[in-house]
Structure 1
Amino acid sequence: TGKSIVKIAGRRYLYLPKLGYIKTSKTGVLKDVKIKRYTVSLEPTGKYYLSIQAEVKAPQKFKKTGKQVGIDVGVADLAILSNGLKYPAFEASYFEKQSRIWQSKYSRRRHLAYLLCEQDKHQKVLNLRSLESFSNWQRARKLKASYQKKVANKRKDYLHKLTTHLVRQYDVIAIEDLKVKNLQKNHCLAKAIANASWSMFRQMLEYKCERYGKELIAVNPKNTSRICSKCGFNSGAKPLEIREWTCPNCQAHHDRDINAAVNILYKAMPNGQELAVVNS
């Protein structure tokens, strides 16, 4: 870590006081900014990353559109909007599969290398082998880290594009105030919820709404999937496999997720439709 001045030496080249000239990327975004601190870190993939703390101008606010939307999050579809639009959950099956394969190979090769190291100690050989000396284990470690990093990068890229699009399109965004950690205690859904990245999705919406002059409202999700958005009738709890239902009071047919998104928007709007609670 350093506090000295970092200079742009040319296209894709930076000058770091302690390291000299290095080749990097995205030097164009550093124009007209004041760099205060930098950190160079080595990732498990074997690549070096440069993190920069900089002072930049306040970003330009997005234009007002006069639109409001409620968003219900899910597993199959990450974001379901009150206007009927659905955005699918992040999917990178190939890289996730490769990550699992190399995780298994990594664990097995590391265990075998550990046994050989212990065997050397037991036999009291002169030149003891270390875990770092086993090239197969090192290769598996780097490949495992590489595929895991690709999955993480692709997920973050997808969420950035989706959240920026939503913030650009809507002035007021209403979402559920979910306790993700509590939901992940359900072992049947924990992996799917973690893969959907609900927490990261909300965090991005929060800071982007603040940055670009939009409003984010978190509402209590209680009964949002049970109440009819047409008449306010509470039809009670429904199993997760039921994705569509018909209100027994007004006979309106609902998509479960879209109906929940509409109710979330109603809860967020102070002058919106008041949801009646009618016992079934």
Structure 2
Amino acid sequence: SYTGRSTCHVLAKRRIRLPKLGSIRTSKTNQLNSGRIKRYTVSLEPTGRYYLSLQVEVEAPQALPKTGRMVGLDVGVADLVISSDGVKYGTFHAPWAEKQATKWQSKYAKRKHQVTITVRQWNHNHKTVKEELNDYQNWQRAQQQKARYQAKIANQRKDYLHKLTTALVKQYDVIVIEDLKAKNLQKNHCLAKAIANASWFQFRTMLAYKCAWYGKKLITVKPNYTSQICSHCGYHSGPKPLNIREWTCPKCGTYHDRDINAAVNILHKGLKAVG
């Protein structure tokens, strides 16, 4: 990849002029009419496709109308987000693309092994065999296909998170979330893949900058004991294993869904912190 700061010009709806490269075909350049391009980056992705990234200076978006609503959000593995209102937003899944990515990952590993053996034989015998070139091309093809399916999953996940965070920012004026350290939680090898697929950090990042853009308030609180305290009477019932998803408070008898109860406690913590 390379980056330049020279002036770029939008020529048409799907045309842009770059220094040295001249006029190239692009997409979505019609959205750049109200902004000034300050920097561009051209990169070649592992998928074999070229991408143009533009840094554009635009006016800040207008604040969204106030709704007067507040919410606490608890993040999870089975459900990505659980709100204090009792709404559960599922985790992103792309079963077909994930299956294809796994299949091509296996093909890539096998073909890479074949190429390695062939190259070693060539280095030992000081001669080229016909199978070497074919194996190398197959390996490159498998690498590209694997990268394309992985990129497809990442793009679909990002699209899902964008739609979810935008909907939350439009609904609520104050959003309270846990200050989770996802990197530390991924040390649990049983949950590492599920936590990475949920993209908690990316969800929080999107939520933070969209709240700043649209004039909403984001509050972070410590996650300590949010699933152990009764949100009705405040009784601390002690730690519970992950397979316990519902429980009844032994003091006041209130029946709780574990995740919704945690989201309510997160909201209470956030409101107490801001006074």
- Given the two structures, how large is their TM-score scaled by the length of structure 2? 0.95
Provide the C-alpha distance between the structure 2 equivalents of 1:46 and 1:133, rounded to a whole number of angstroms: 19
**3-state secondary structure, aligned to 2:228:** coil
CA contact 2:114–2:135 (8 Å) conserved in 1? no
Q: Provide the aligned C-alpha RMSD in A.
A: 1.8
Paired letter, 1:25: S
Contact kept, 8 Å, 2:12 with 2:30, in 1: the verdict is no
What's the counterpart of residue 138 of structure 1?
Answer: 140
Q: How many residues align?
A: 273
- What is the alpha-carbon distance in structure 2 between the residues aligned to residue 4 and residue 129 of structure 1? 47
Task: Write the letter of the residue equivalent to 1:255.
Answer: D
**Kept in 2: contact 1:8–1:27 (CA 8 A):** yes
Residues 1:176 and 1:86: Cα distance change in structure 2 (over 3 Å): same
Measured in 2, the distance between the counterparts of 1:132 and 1:79 equals 48
TM-score normalised over the length of structure 1: 0.94
For each residue in 1:163-209, what CA deviation from the matched residue of structure 2 results, as whole angstroms up to 9, or x when unmatched?
A: 01101111100001111111111111111111111111111111111
4+ residue segments displaced more than 6 Å: 126-133
Partner of 1:176: 178
Q: Structure 2 vs 1, CA of residues 127 and 246 (structure 1 numbering), >3 Å: closer, same or farther?
A: closer
Kindly provide the CA deviation profile for residues 128-152 of structure 1, in whole angstroms up to 9, marking residues without a partner as x: 9977972211110110000000000
Q: Which runs of 5+ in 1 are unaligned?
A: 274-280
Give me the whole-angstrom Cα distance separating, in 2, the residues matched to 1:16 and 1:132: 37
Equivalent residues in 2 for 1:1-280 (5 A)? 1-125=3-127, 134-270=136-272
Q: After superposition, what is the alpha-carbon deviation per residue over 1:228-279, rounded to whole angstroms, capped at 9, x for unaligned?
A: 1110011111111111101110110000000000000000003899xxxxxx
Identity of aligned residues (%): 62
Using a 3 Å threshold, how does the CA distance of structure 1 residues 243 and 117 change in structure 2: closer, same or farther? Answer: same
CA distance in 1, matches of 2:32, 2:205: 25
Distance in 2 (CA, whole Å) between partners of 1:216 and 1:205 is 8
